[in-house]
Amino acid sequence: MVETKVLLVGATGATGSSIIDGLFQAGNFEIFALVRPASMDKPVVEILRQRNVKIREGDLEGPEEVLTEALRGIDVLISSVRESATQQQDQISLANAAKRAGIKRFVPCGFGTITSPGGIMRVRDQKERVYNHVKQLWLPYTIIDIGWWYQIAFPRVPSGKVDYVSFGVAEEIIGGGNVLSALTDMRDIGHYVAKIIVDERTLNRMVFAYNTVITQNQIYNLMEEISGEKLERNYVADETIRDRVAQCRLLAEKDPTDLATLHSQLLAEHRLSWGVRGDNNPDYAKYLGYISSKELYPDFEPVDFRGYLKSVVEGKAKNVYIDDRSVVVEHATALEATR
């Protein structure tokens, strides 16, 4: 069997780690990771090497010719770069190099919730600029969004027994708490990716890969049922979210380089999109042109959300990909900062 050669940019991040796991489990891929010259000796890279990930040296901010060489012979290029200030736009030269290297499919950084470009979420608009650039290059692509993670979607319980895996970003219920939003277990991202990137039906398309659709009230109900504890429900009005977004945008305008502000903005805009507007659901995704993972892979059985919550309450959940889940931690920190 000829293995598909896949190179990851952002291999050590949360999404990248799930993708590497998913590709290894699928078994039909030769896996490469792009690593910055300065990071070649870092322990996380050593772990990749030990796992049989082939390391290629390259820098998104370096010359395009060098980047092009680093991509030689690769079939599928996947980018899961950080949603911080500049990394999304670094994908412009990555796309140029991919075109020059003859990459057969580029998966630019998506891996987020469903929303529309044009002023709702800064990070979505940054991604849109990358997508438009990819399209101008006539580069074969697939955009994959995955909704919100199981791992950050459940609230704490009074006994504190789920604190060991909680990031504290689900302690607010937005609006009436009845907006449907799509969730995916982080560990399933890689399984979806392994299917999608070798699927002709997904070429030059957007794919929405998600496990389940649920409201915040339903999540709280589930947690009460499973834990047997009564949860406090901290409802936050839509208007408060809108105000928070406006405030973050003002601050970001004053200092566009302040990472704490940018993270607060990201978090507030996420809530605006999935919590207030209700963007992050399969019907809206379909309207926007996404193909659904349910339609593509009806037989795939992702991790069940109730089962996951049960493992959380029983103390059996793991902080998956925690070592490098700095983005989540930053989100959590950013949330605190906006309070």
Q: Which of 26, 44, 101, 120 binds a second copy (CB under 8 A)?
A: 120
In whole angstroms, the minimum distance from the beta carbon of 85 to a second copy comes to 20
Q: Is 230 a catalytic residue?
A: no
Please, which residues have CB within 8 angstroms of residue 322's CB and are 6 or more apart in sequence?
none
In the complex, the smallest distance separating the C-beta of residue 202 from a second copy, rounded to whole angstroms, is 13
Q: Is 102 in the site for a second copy (CB under 8 A)?
A: no
Task: Quote the tokens at residue 273.
Answer: 């999109």
Out of 96, 116, 217, 221, name the contact with a second copy by CB under 8 A. Answer: 116
What 116-121 contacts at long range (C-beta under 8 Å, 24+ apart), as own/partner pairs, is 116/279, 116/288, 120/269, 120/272, 120/273, 120/277, 120/279, 121/266, 121/269, 121/270, 121/272, 121/273
Least CB distance to a second copy at residue 128 (A): 8
Residue holding tokens 């692509």?
141
164 burial (CB, 10 Å; 0-12 / 13-18 / 19+) is exposed
Q: Any contact of residue 132 with a second copy (CB under 8 A)?
A: yes
End-to-end CA distance of the chain: 54
Residues β-bridged to residue 77? 7, 106
Looking at residues 148 to 187 of the shown chain, list those that interact with a second copy (rule: CB under 8 A).
none
- H or E stretch covering 143: strand 142-145
Site for a second copy in 35-74 (CB under 8 A): none
Structure tokens at 80: 């899961």
| Residue 288 within binding range of a second copy, rule CB under 8 A | yes
Nearer residue to a second copy within complex by CB, 99 or 133: 133
Name which of residues 218 to 277 contact a second copy (CB under 8 A): none
Q: Which stretch binds a second copy (CB under 8 A): 4-12, 101-109, 111-119, 261-269?
A: 111-119
284 binds a second copy (CB under 8 A): yes
54-57 and 173-174 strand pairing: unpaired
Assess 118 for contact with a second copy (CB under 8 A).
yes
Contact criterion met (CB below 8 Å) for 148 and 280: yes
| Per annotation, catalytic residue among 5, 127, 135, 286 | 127
- Of 39, 86, 136, 319, the one binding a second copy by CB under 8 A: 136
Cα–Cα distance, 76 to 81 (Å, whole number): 16
Contact mark string toward a second copy, 289..308, x via CB under 8 A: x-------------------
**Which residue, 261 or 280, is less far from a second copy as judged by CB?**
280
Number of residues that bind a second copy (CB under 8 A): 17
Angle between helices 259-270 and 238-254 (to 10 degrees): 150
Residues forming the site for a second copy (CB under 8 A): 116-120, 129, 132-133, 135-136, 138, 204-205, 284, 287-289
Active site amino acids: 127
